[in-house]
Each structure stands twice: as structure tokens, then as C-alpha cells.
Amino acid sequence: MMSGLRCPSSGRAACLRPATCRTTCAAGPRPCRLPVVSGWSPASRPAWPPSAVIWFRPACSAKFSFANRLRCWIEIGDFYPRLMPREVKLRATPSHPMQTLLNRVQAAHTLLCVGLDPVGDDAQVARRLAEVIDQTSEYAAAFKPNLAFFLSRENGVQLLRETVQRVPDGIPVILDGKFGDIANTADHYARFAYDIIGADGVTVNPYMGDDAIVPFARPGKLVFALAKTSNKPTHSLQDVALTRGGSLADCAARVARQLDEQHGGIGLVVGATNPEAVARLRALCPDQWFLVPGVGAQGGDLAATLRAGLRPDGTGLLINTSRALWQATDTAAAARELVEQMNQLRPVVV
């Protein structure tokens, strides 16, 4: 969508539409999901209010000079003829970080999280990623690219950016990096995930405490903290009993719940390979969203997991499937079948 605002360098219109935009100007197609403006920002600039959450990406960003950045601004909600913020925000921020996810779940009647764990040579992977996204978007509540499968490639970061960019707007993208450091290191990981890659959420390892989670809890972003993972039904670390009661996984869930109450948007990663643990953690965290790996190749029981973890409204779980969709001959049919199975086992609120 081309606005009336124009870049002073070339006179070309600025594009205000999010990731689905493919408007072509003289500079060629410029999808709008990835950040393009970075650099100096005065410390004295005022904080942007919640109403000013969408800023534009110039269609002619290659020629958008530093001097011209200072002259470009847009009114959204309130009147702010200020300097361009250091980072371009890419998507509208809902009133609650999980609202975008809930909106998608309710609109598409789906709990399916499409995992993207690409295997194969670079050309094959790029082609298959596009196929999987295009064929499953209708059925996806979210997409979850696994960071390791991209970083192991020479062009991995660029491929990841292009993958995130391809996902239609309105479908959250959760970058599965299991980030676990603290302080300024965590801040830089958050900048990578949100500002470089353009993700809507992340997975984090809470072993180092609050400081490993809070830097990712930006307004409008989704954070899923590891609690009970799918790699083993019984885990040598997560199942350790604490003297004050409960397990280490239970403790991680309580920490995440408390942080969610303070910051919003913080859920849990809870594996489908142990439905009893899903039920226990749902009792501890009745309102939070669970990202649930382990259905499919890892042998998780879909029906038992839904019975154990669904909230009363039939939501609260994102059921992740990766290999079953990546390897499917008819990916769209496989995704549709999974969604139908889930919806038969849950109340669907229309």
C-alpha cells in the first residue's frame, strides 16, 4: 500500500503495509517485514507511545540516506514530528502480546504450529521452505523456524530473514533459538531475533533466571520459556525434586507465570511426550500459552496432550509439528488433517 508520504531523496512513495505487501516501485518489489533503518538515534528523543507502533519502510531504502532519515516521519495516532527511531518497528502492537496469537487461532480455527527444520542442500531447502509456508499458511496458527537449522548454512541468516518475510502477516513467527544468556548479551540476542530477523516471538532457556527472559519480553512479542521439554519423558534435570516441593520444571513454570503477570506475553514450552506433566503445569499456569513440541516423530500423544493442556475455551496450546509436514508428499493435506484431528478434540469458539 503506497502512502502519500514520499522519500525526499527520490520522491518515491513510502510503503505502510506489513509483510504481505509486494508493491513494486522503480526500485523493485519491497516487502515490508524486515527492518532497514538503523544507526544513530539521539538519547534525548522521547519514548514512543503505544499508539505510535507502525513506522514506514521506504520503498527506495537503498538510497534512503542518513540526512533524509531525519526529515521523514509519520503521524500514527498522535502527532510526533520527531527523528526516526533507531529501529523501524514492523507490525502493530496489540493491547496484549498474546492477542495476535489468539486472533489467529480463533480466525483460522487452528492450534497448529508449523515447525521449520530445513534439511537438504541450499537450493532444495529454499524451494521446500517456500512450499511448506505457502501450503500450510491457511492452517497455521504460527510458524516456528529452528535457528540451528539455518545457522548451520553459509547463507543461513539471509535464508532465515527471507523465510520469516514469506509468512503472511497476522501469523506469528516464533524463532526457536532457546536463548539463555543474561544482561546485555540477552539484549543483543533479542535485537537479532526481533530487529534483524523480524520474528514475533522466541523460545528461551530460563536456567539463568529472570535476566534470561525479561530482555525478550518486548511489547507485542511472544516469549516461550522451557519448562518440560520433549526430548525425554523423564528428565535428569527438569524432574529433580526440590526441597520446597515440586520439580525444577515446576519452578521454571512458576517463574514464567510471575513474569507473565508483570510483563505479559510469556508462555511455556511443554513437551507432548509426557501428558501428565502437561496437566500438572496447566494446573500451575492455568492462563498461559504452551508451545508443545513432540507430536509426530517424537511419539507424543495428541489426544492426551489436548485433554491435559487445553484451557476451557479450547485454546492455550500451540501444537508444533515439523518433520511430518516437511516430509509430506501433500503438505497442505497433511496440515489440514492435523488441524481437523485437533478440532475434533477441542471446543472451537466461533
User: In the chain, how many domains are there?
Assistant: 2
Instruction: Look at residue 246 in the predicted model and tell me its pLDDT.
Output: 82
Here the cell at position 64 is 534512503
Q: Residue 210: which pLDDT band, with cuts at 50, 70 and 90?
A: very high
Specify whether 75 is located in the same domain as 111.
no
Specify whether 181 is located in the same domain as 76.
no
Specify whether 11 is located in the same domain as 35.
yes
Instruction: Look at residue 349 in the predicted model and tell me its pLDDT.
Output: 58
Last residue of a domain, one of 62, 92, 122: 92
Q: Is residue 159 part of a domain?
A: yes
Just list the catalytic residues: 178
Is residue 260 exposed (0-12), middle (13-18) or buried (19+ Cβ within 10 Å)? buried
Partners of 228 in the β-ladder = 270
Q: Is residue 199 part of a domain?
A: yes
Q: Is residue 271 part of a domain?
A: yes
Specify whether 187 is located in the same domain as 148.
yes
Q: Is residue 350 part of a domain?
A: no
Specify whether 294 is located in the same domain as 155.
yes
Question: How many angstroms separate the CA atoms of 51 and 76, rounded?
Answer: 7
**pTM recorded for the entire structure:** 0.73
Specify whether 104 is located in the same domain as 226.
yes
Last residue of a domain, one of 92, 107, 123: 92
Q: What is the CATH number of the domain that holds 199?
A: 3.20.20.70
Q: Which domain holds residue 150?
A: 99-344
Q: Is residue 212 part of a domain?
A: yes
Instruction: Look at residue 282 in the predicted model and tell me its pLDDT.
Output: 97
Q: What is the pLDDT of residues 126-169, one digit of tens each?
A: 999 999 999 999 999 999 999 999 999 999 999 999 999 999 99
Question: How many angstroms separate the CA atoms of 36 and 344, rounded?
Answer: 44
Q: Is residue 349 part of a domain?
A: no
Q: Are 284 and 253 in contact (CB under 8 A)?
A: yes
Backbone angles phi, psi at 230, to 5 degrees: -95, 0
Specify whether 173 is located in the same domain as 319.
yes
Handedness of CA 239, 243, 246, 252 (dihedral sign): negative
Specify whether 36 is located in the same domain as 147.
no
Could you tell me how many residues make up the chain? 350
Question: How many angstroms separate the CA atoms of 233 and 231, rounded?
Answer: 7
Last residue of a domain, one of 92, 109, 126: 92
Query: Which segment, 297-306, 318-327, 339-348, is predicted with the most confidence on average?
Result: 318-327
Q: Residue 245: which pLDDT band, with cuts at 50, 70 and 90?
A: confident
Specify whether 188 is located in the same domain as 124.
yes
